[in-house]
A and B are shown apart, each in its own frame.
Chain A
Amino acid sequence: MEASHAVSEAVKMIKPAVVAAYPITPQTHIVEKISDFVADGDLKTEYIRVESEFAAISACLGASATGVRTYTATSSQGLALMNEILFVVSGMRLPICMTVVNRALSAPINIWNDHQDSISARDSGWIQLHAETAQECYDLTLMQFKISEDKRVLLPSMVCMDGFTLSHVYEPMDVPEQVKLDEFLPDYKPFHAILDPEQPLTLGPIGFPSHFMEFRYSQAEAMENSLKIIEEVFDEFNSKFPVEIEKTRPKKYWHTENYKTEDAEIILVAMGSVCGTIKDVIDELREKGEKVGLMKLITYRPFPREAIKEALKGAKKVAVLEKAISPGANTAPLTDEVSSLLYDLDERPEIRNFIIGLGGRDVSMDRLHKIYDMTKNSQGKKQEWIF
C-alpha cells in the first residue's frame, strides 16, 4: 500500500467525526483518498473542504471544542500557515490529530522532503511522532489518537512522514481487523471542557499575568506526563498487534528504535524514512566488522530523555543526521538537544552534526558511508553539510 493511503486507511478505521483539510503537495494523496471514502460511503465523517490550512486547523478547533474526534493533514507551507493556531489548540488542550507530510519550507519554493516544517513547530505544544515506513505511518496514526485523547494528556499530536520518499512509496503492510482496532481505540468520549448549551462554559478566555504561567505550566506538565502514556500505548499496541510482516516496523514500538546499538561504538541518530537506508549501510559496515548502530527517534515531542540516554550509552561517537537547520544556532535542533542531554553523562561521547537531504536532496548509501567515515576518523567540523 502507498504510505499516504495507509494513513487514509487508518483514518477510515478511526472514524473521526470531523475532518477539515486543505490540499498541499505532497499531502494530497491522503485527503484525496479520504474524499473517496466519504464519497463512497465508507467513512461517515463531516469533511470540511476549507479554503486554507489556517481555516483547516481553526475548523478543527471548533469541532474538537464541540466534543468530537477531529483530524487534519498538511505539509510544509500549510503547517507554517497553521502556526498561530497550533499554539491556540495545544493551549486549549484540544486532542486534535494531524498528519504532517514533511516537506521543505520556501524560499526557494520546493515540494520535496526535509523536516524543516515540523521541526519549526516543535515548540507549539504538539506531540510529535516520526514514521519510517508505511506500516509505521499506519500504526502511529492509530496510536496518536489514543495518546492525544487520554485524559492524562489532552494534547494535540502530529505524526510526521517524509514527503514522496515515504508518502508516495508502496510498501507491504498489514491492516488489522476493525474489531481489533475498535477494542484498542474505543469511540471518543470527551470529558473535559466542551461547548454544550446545557452546561455553558467559556473556552479561550484572556489570561492575565496572574494566571498565564499556571496555564503554561499545566500544559508543559501534560507534555511531560505524556511520555508515560505514550509508553503505555506502545506496550498495549505491541501486545495487541504483533509484527505481521518483518522489517515493516520495529519489533516493539518505543520512543526510539535501536538498531544494532548494543555494542556499537558509533551510533547514528536520525528520524524518518532515511533510517531504512541507514540500516542497510549499517548492515554493510557490520559485515566489515565495524561496531556501528542506529538510534531512530520516533518520539520527538515529548523529548524522550531516558530512552535516548539508554540508547546512546556506551557510544564513543554519536552522529546526528538532520534534515533541518536553525540558522545561527550552535548546531541543528536535534543535535543541540541530544548534546545538552548527554552533557550530564559522566562519559560523554563525541557528538557530530550532519545536515542531510534538504529540499529532497538524495541521501544515498555513499553519502551515509562518507558520514560514517568522517565520524569514525573525526574529520571535519562539528557541523558538516553533506551536499
Chain B
Amino acid sequence: MAILGLPEEEYFAPGHRACAGCGAGIAMRLITKAAGKNSILTESTGCIEVVSTPYPETAWRLPWVHGAFENPASIASGICAALKALGKEDEINVIAFGGDGSTYDIGFGYLSGAFERGHNFTYVCYDNEAYMNTGIQRSGSTPYGASTTTSPAGKESIGKEEWKKDIMHIIAAHGSPYVASASIAYVQDAFRKLKTAIETKGPTFVNLFAPCPTGWRFQGEKTVEIAKLAVETGVTPLYEIINGKHKINRPNDVSKLNPVEEYLQTQGRYRHLFKPERKDKEIEFIQNRIKENLSLLLEMAEKGF
C-alpha cells in the first residue's frame, strides 16, 4: 500500500513474522524507503532481525547483514571503510539500525566510537522502550514508571524508577551534523528526517519512536494512535539538532500539551498508575518533567543553541 508522498518501492517485504501492529515493522518500511536501492543495511540482534530473516527466508530486498547484538555501528564502520577502499563511498548509503536495547545499552560504546571516528553512515534506533525480543525487560530507554518484566510494578515498586536516557543529546555531543527524533505516526516527517540523515555527510542519527503492542500491552490497531498521542502529550517531542542547533518540530507550546495521562492510560505498562487507585503524585511528577524537558528544548531552539 502506497503511503502519501513516499516512494512506492517496498524493500522490506511483507510476509515477515512481526506481531500485528508492530511499530518497528512500520519503521523498517520507512527506513528502507528513505534508503532506496543503493544501500547496505546492518542490524543488531533483536525483534526485527529475528522476524525478518528466518533462514531460508528473508524480508530484505536490500543487502543486509547482522553480526551480533551490540555491534551494528562497528560493522557499519567496516562497511564504510570497505566502500571507501572500493571507491564506492559516494554511491552507496550505509545504514545501521537496532532497537533501544542495542542502541542505548549494550551497543552504546560502539555507537559512540563510530560517531567519534566520523564514518559516513546513518544510525537509526527503532525505539520501543524495552528489550522486547527477550520478553519486555527494562532498558536505558524504558520510561519512568513503565512496568516491565525486570522492573515490574509492585507494592514497593512504581515500575522503572529511572528516567529515559537522553540519547539525542549524547549523540549530538559527538559533533554529529544531524540528529533527529521521529515517530512512526508522522510518516512524512519521519521519511524526511531519515532522508536528510542519509543524505547528510558524516555520522547521523535518527531515534525513531515505534510502539510495541506486545510489550506495552495495547491492541495492535492502536499503534499509530498511541505514537501520535506520545507526541501530542510531549512524551516524545519531535525535533532535530542540525549542526548542534535545535529545531523543534512539534509540539511547540508547553501550555497546549494534552495531559500525559491521556497517553499513559492507553497502555497496560502504566496500568498501576491508575489502578487499583490513581497515583496522583507519580502522574504529576511525570507531567511536570515532560513540561520541563519540552520547555528546555524550546528555549534552546529559541536562543539559537
State the A residues within 8 Å of B (CB): 17-18, 20, 45-46, 48-52, 54-55, 58-68, 70, 84-85, 88, 92, 195-197, 199-208, 211
Contacts and interface: CB of A to CB of B under 8 A. Distances in A.
17 contacts: A20-B81, A51-B112, A54-B70, A55-B77, A55-B113, A59-B77, A60-B78, A62-B42, A62-B65, A62-B79, A64-B82, A85-B71, A197-B37, A203-B65, A204-B53, A205-B58, A207-B55
Interface string B232-245: 00000000000000
Contacts, number: 156
Nearest to B36: A197
A54 B49 CA distance: 21
Interface residues of B, number: 44
A209 to B, nearest CB: 11
Contact of B75 (A17, A18, A59, A199): A59
3 closest Cβ pairs, A-B complex: A62-B78, A58-B74, A51-B113
A49 B82 contact: no
A236 B50 CA distance: 44
Nearest to B75: A62
B78 A200 contact: no
B86 A17 contact: yes
Contact of B78 (A20, A202, A206): A20
A52 B113 contact: yes
Nearest to A65: B65
Interface string B64-91: 1111101100111111111111100000
B60 interface: yes
Contact of A197 (B63, B71, B86): B63
A195 B40 contact: yes
Contacts of A62: 42, 65, 67, 74-82
Given A61-B67, A200-B63, A201-B63, A48 B77 contact: yes
Contact of A51 (B39, B81, B110): B110
Contacts of A58: 67-68, 71, 74-75, 77-78, 110
B68 A202 contact: no
Contact of B83 (A66, A92, A205): A66
B38 interface: yes
Interface in B207-247: none
Given A46-B84, A205-B55, A208-B55, A59 B65 contact: no
Interface in B107-122: 109-110, 112-114, 116-117
B84 A50 contact: no
B259 interface: no
B62 interface: yes
B85 A17 contact: yes
